[in-house]
Structures are given as structure tokens and as C-alpha cells.
């Protein structure tokens, strides 16, 4: 019977050192392999050129490197790049590189499909197939970092967890991936340049706070009125705004880091003065900034971008209340790479 090869990236550095020591080799080899796997993102044992041919063969006989593969890459007219990423079991997720004159941001996925069912989101239609493991999240970032260097002559500068999936429903793996991304033995990125965007899972926001995470928090709010929010984000029934508010207060009290609210204004859904007033009230609970995001229709026309007048009214009222507000025009719309459009169509 053929032996099943182990995923070498599931081993810690200590375990790799032990492995080599037990082979009668130098434990230091474990450090070298670890460096190849993480810092140098090697996808083949043959790339590990400071190991002997015999050692590389021995590793190849016992282990696999379950790396991802960018199966298709699309480039938008505005420079945005969307990767369809094939996982070792054949499933596909998408990640996006968003360039601006001063930064390159990676928008990465945390699940195949999604556990939640936001009515306006293309990913929700895929349902959740499985969580991504930490390496699969890390590899999406590495792939985008390479593309950033290749096409824009600079490394990746920021990461947002706003791709497919609800990151807080795959919390442990997201945290492990971020640990690796921020570790000097991984990509060495500052956690201040990473934002985890959630639709608002109160108990997990509290857990993140207790875990003393150093990255930023964004919440896709879209309405501060329970009935409206539940109609577009049905899980709001289980996690109502009052619980979310309490969790966000807990976060701010301990971290002193502002929250970003992501907010889309849709015609006939959340475009009245009552919606605006409720949102402004919610924004006052904890220090925050607001990103109003341009909506990208996902074909069926049920959700439509609100009028400019409604958007102006939101912006004016927020600013009058001294709340910082940015309007984000979507990028990569021509390749379905914009927010809410990721659905493995490529």
C-alpha cells in the first residue's frame, strides 16, 4: 500500500528540526527547509538548492508541498488583477491585487464560498464548501506580493480580508496565517497594514480583543436598523446590532483602535433620512471612520446603487457630525473583481 505523504507545511520549525535530528542529520537542516517553505515560498523540494540532492529526494519521498496555483489571472483596465487560485483539492477561490499610486493592496479569501448569506453578495451563492487552511491564505498573499513586484516594481503594502468568506468564521486559521505573514520568518509585514473585515460576529470580535490582535478591524454594516439589516444580512437576526455594538465597545475600550465601517447605499433599501440618522447614531458609539462603497450589481437587479442625492445626503450628515467618511469607487469591475462580485466566474 502506498504511504500517504504528509504536508510538510503543517510542521512547525521545531518539528522539522526534530525530524532531521531523528534522521541522524543536523537539526539545522530544519531551519533551512523552514526558510525555503515560508520566507522563500518554495513550491518544490528541487528549489531548495542548499540541500543535497539526496536530502531533497528523501523529502520528496515523504512529504508534499500543498501549494496553491494561480490558474487564471485577469487584468482590469484600471490595473486591478484578479487571481483564480486552485487549491490542492481542485477547489477555487479568488484574490485580488488593487494598485493605487502609493500602495498595493491584496484582498484575500478566507473560505471557499461563505458561511453567511448576505443577499447582495455573489460569494453567498456558492455556500460554504470549506475553510481555507493557514497556508492557503498565506499563499494568496505571496502570489500577490510576487505580482506586485513584477507589474508595479514594489512589494505588497496592505492586506484586507474582504475576499470570499467570513474571516471570523475561520478564525483560528486566519490568525495562524496572519502570524506567518507578520513573522520575520514569513513576510515580516506590519499588522498595522492588515485589516480583517467582518460582517459582525460579536463573540468573535470579543475573542479577537482578548487575544490582543494587532491588526485593524472593519465591519460591513450596511444598515444600523435591525429590520433592514436582517433583510439583507439574515444572520443579523442571530447577532443583532445591540450585540454588535457591545462587542465593538469592548474592542475599542481595550485596543483604542478605530473601527472602519463599510457601507453600501442601495436604492429603496437604506437610502432614507431614517437610515442615515440610525447610521450616524451607531457611528457615535465608538470612534470610527466610514467607507461608503460603490455598489457592483451582481446581475439580477434586485440591488441597485442609490441616487447621487442619497449618497450626498449620507456624506453631508456624517461630516456634519464630524465622522470621517471616504467614498470608495470600485476597482476591477470589468473583471468581476470588485467588492461582492467574487464568485468564481472566471
* Residues labelled as active-site residues: 94, 339
Q: Which stretch binds ligand SF4 (CB under 6 A): 25-33, 59-67, 111-119, 322-330?
A: 111-119
**What is the pattern of x (binds ligand SF4, CB under 6 A) and - over residues 47-86?**
----------------------------------------
Give residues 312-331 in contact with ligand SF4 (rule: CB under 6 A): none
Per rule CB under 6 A, is residue 166 in the interface with ligand SF4?
Answer: yes
CA distance 72 to 201: 33
Closest to 74 measured CA to CA, from 91, 89, 90, 94: 94
Helix %, strand %, coil % of the chain (to 5):
40, 20, 40
Among 68, 124, 187, 343, binds ligand SF4 (CB under 6 A): 124
**What is the pattern of x (binds ligand SF4, CB under 6 A) and - over residues 244-283?**
----------------------------------------
Query: Are 181 and 134 within 8 A, CB to CB?
Result: no
**What are the Cα distances from residue 155, in Å, to 140, 141, 335?**
14, 11, 23
Per rule CB under 6 A, is residue 114 in the interface with ligand SF4?
Answer: yes
Per rule CB under 6 A, is residue 41 in the interface with ligand SF4?
Answer: no
**Residue 44 cell numbers, joined:** 518544490
Q: Which stretch binds ligand SF4 (CB under 6 A): 72-80, 115-123, 176-184, 294-302?
A: 115-123
Query: Are 165 and 140 within 8 A, CB to CB?
Result: no
Q: Is 115 exposed, middle or buried (0-12, 13-18, 19+ CB in 10 A)?
A: middle
Among 96, 116, 196, 298, binds ligand SF4 (CB under 6 A): 116
Residue positions forming the annotated binding site for [4Fe-4S] cluster:
114, 118, 121
CA 318 to chain centre: 27
Residue nearer to ligand SF4 on the CB measure, 159 or 187: 159
CA distance 106 to 187: 13
Q: Are strands 194-198 and 216-220 parallel, antiparallel or unpaired?
A: parallel
Shortest spacing between CB 23 and ligand SF4, in angstroms: 44
Per rule CB under 6 A, is residue 341 in the interface with ligand SF4?
Answer: no
Q: Which stretch binds ligand SF4 (CB under 6 A): 57-65, 112-120, 147-155, 289-297?
A: 112-120
Residue positions forming the annotated binding site:
114, 118, 121, 165-166, 197, 220-222, 296
Per rule CB under 6 A, is residue 165 in the interface with ligand SF4?
Answer: yes
**Residue 119 cell numbers, joined:** 443577499
Residue positions forming the annotated binding site for S-adenosyl-L-methionine:
165-166, 197, 220-222, 296
CA 157 to chain centre: 14
CA distance 195 to 212: 14
Among 11, 33, 121, 159, binds ligand SF4 (CB under 6 A): 121
Residue nearer to ligand SF4 on the CB measure, 83 or 199: 199
Shortest spacing between CB 86 and ligand SF4, in angstroms: 20
Give residues 185-204 in contact with ligand SF4 (rule: CB under 6 A): 199
Residue nearer to ligand SF4 on the CB measure, 139 or 166: 166
Most distant CA atoms of the chain, gap in Å: 73
Residue nearer to ligand SF4 on the CB measure, 94 or 275: 94
CA distance 50 to 57: 13
| Contact residues for 106 (Cβ-Cβ < 8 A; gap 6+) | 95, 96, 97, 98, 140, 141, 144, 145, 148, 156, 158, 159, 160
Residues within the interface to ligand SF4 (CB under 6 A):
114, 116-118, 121, 123-124, 164-166, 199
Amino acid at each position: 500500500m502506498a504511504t500517504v505523504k504528509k504536508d510538510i507545511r503543517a510542521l512547525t520549525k521545531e518539528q522539522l528540526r526534530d525530524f532531521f535530528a531523528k534522521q541522524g542529520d543536523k537539526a539545522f537542516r530544519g531551519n533551512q527547509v523552514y526558510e525555503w517553505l515560508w520566507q522563500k515560498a518554495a513550491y518544490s523540494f528541487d528549489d531548495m538548492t542548499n540541500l543535497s540532492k539526496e536530502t531533497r529526494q528523501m523529502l520528496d519521498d515523504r512529504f508534499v508541498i500543498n501549494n496553491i496555483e494561480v490558474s487564471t489571472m485577469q487584468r482590469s483596465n484600471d490595473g486591478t488583477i484578479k487571481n483564480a487560485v486552485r487549491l490542492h483539492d481542485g477547489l477555487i477561490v479568488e484574490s485580488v491585487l488593487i494598485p493605487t499610486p502609493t500602495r498595493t493592496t491584496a484582498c484575500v479569501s478566507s473560505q471557499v464560498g461563505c458561511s453567511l448569506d448576505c443577499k447582495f453578495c455573489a460569494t453567498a451563492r456558492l455556500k460554504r464548501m470549506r475553510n481555507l487552511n493557514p497556508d492557503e491564505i498565506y499563499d494568496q498573499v505571496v502570489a500577490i506580493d510576487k505580482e506586485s513586484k513584477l507589474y508595479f516594481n514594489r512589494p505588497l503594502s496592505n492586506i484586507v480580508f474582504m475576499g470570499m468568506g467570513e474571516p471570523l468564521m475561520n478564525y483560528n486559521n486566519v490568525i495562524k496565517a496572519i502570524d506567518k505573514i507578520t513573522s520575520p520568518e514569513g513576510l515580516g509585514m506590519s499588522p498595522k497594514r492588515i485589516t480583517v473585515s467582518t460582517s459582525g460576529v460579536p463573540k468573535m470580535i470579543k475573542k479577537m480583543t482578548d487575544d490582543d490582535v494587532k491588526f485593524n478591524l472593519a465591519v460591513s454594516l450596511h444598515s444600523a436598523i435591525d429590520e433592514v439589516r436582517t433583510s439583507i444580512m439574515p444572520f443579523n437576526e442571530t447577532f443583532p446590532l445591540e450585540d454588535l455594538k457591545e462587542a465593538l465597545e469592548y474592542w475599542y475600550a481595550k485596543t483604542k483602535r478605530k473601527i472602519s465601517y463599510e457601507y453600501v447605499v442601495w436604492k429603496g433599501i437604506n437610502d432614507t433620512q431614517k437610515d442615515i440618522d440610525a447610521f450616524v447614531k451607531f457611528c457615535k458609539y465608538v470612534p470610527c471612520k466610514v467607507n461608503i462603497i460603490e455598489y457592483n450589481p451582481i446581475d439580477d437587479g434586485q440591488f441597485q446603487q442609490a441616487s447621487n442625492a442619497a449618497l450626498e445626503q449620507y456624506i453631508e450628515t456624517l461630516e456634519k457630525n464630524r465622522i470621517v467618511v471616504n467614498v470608495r469607487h470600485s476597482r476591477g469591475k470589468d473583471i468581476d473583481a470588485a467588492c461582492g462580485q467574487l464568485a468564481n466566474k472566471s
